[in-house]
Structure 1
């Protein structure tokens, strides 16, 4: 099986699960929304819906255009939630026991560019950093 198809499937499952969690248990996600974001509960719900739509789009095999559009959406989503991940780290580190700690947060923040790139690569929007076969 093609590694890109497997990647699309893995991304679809991960984003579907994340989307459902945003909808059924929004409180932990609302708690890490930065203060400058208006209507945090609504944003979390909309984020969950976007993740589910992205999962459906990238996971379907019949339309390259839909898969590519979903990949761009998931990449944009990963970029847009980065501030919430930074906020989560800052809130955790401000706790007396330091919450999940740097061993959790630093890799999570460092992997954010991978979450931006991965759907684009999986959906064949980009081949970077790999050279296309000739």
Structure 2
């Protein structure tokens, strides 16, 4: 294994996802508030803090000197937001069952399909956190 300070497509993609999503969290927090699990307090604050964290992680992944810590933080963040993604699927499933429209069914399917995509993103983040090609 060698230390790799170059950006590859998966790493740039993860950084871009974090930067876009983080910005959206801050510009349109009301979109994300409903997916904050109901057991957590102050959904707006959670959305804003997670948005800032995503932007910081995204920027950190782009620079070799901050990539290792940003990779580890990114992996932790992806694990941390997983309950929100699960909540989104649960809510979408309830809506799809209630409405029974193709649009609500398609949205529900999309939220389910998104869940396993967390793993490859976590893998990319952990690779960056190791600071190696592996």
TM normalised by structure 1 equals 0.81
Answer yes or no: is 1:101 the counterpart of 2:101: no
Change (3 A) 1:44 1:124: closer
In structure 2, which of residues 99, 102, 126 is the aligned counterpart of residue 120 of structure 1? Answer: 126
1:28-47 equivalences in 2 (<5 Å) = 28-47=31-50
Query: What CA distance in whole angstroms lies between the structure 1 residues aligned with 2:25 and 2:129?
Result: 28
Question: Secondary structure of 1:18's partner?
Answer: helix
Report deviation, 1:33. 0.5
Query: What CA distance in whole angstroms lies between the structure 2 residues aligned with 1:124 and 1:20?
Result: 23
1:54-73 equivalences in 2 (<5 Å) = 54-61=57-64, 63=65, 66-73=66-73
Which structure carries more helix by proportion? 2
Query: What CA distance in whole angstroms lies between the structure 1 residues aligned with 2:30 and 2:52?
Result: 16
TM normalised by structure 2 equals 0.81
Report deviation, 1:126. 7.0
Contact in 2 for aligned 1:11/1:59 (Cα 8 Å): no
Question: Secondary structure of 2:93's partner?
Answer: helix
Between the two structures, name the one with larger relative contact order (CA 8 Å, sep ≥ 6): 2
Where does residue 77 of structure 2 map in the other structure?
A: 77
Question: Secondary structure of 1:5's partner?
Answer: coil
- Structure 2: unaligned runs, 5 residues or longer: none
Aligned residues: 122
What is the aligned-residue RMSD (CA, Å)? 2.1
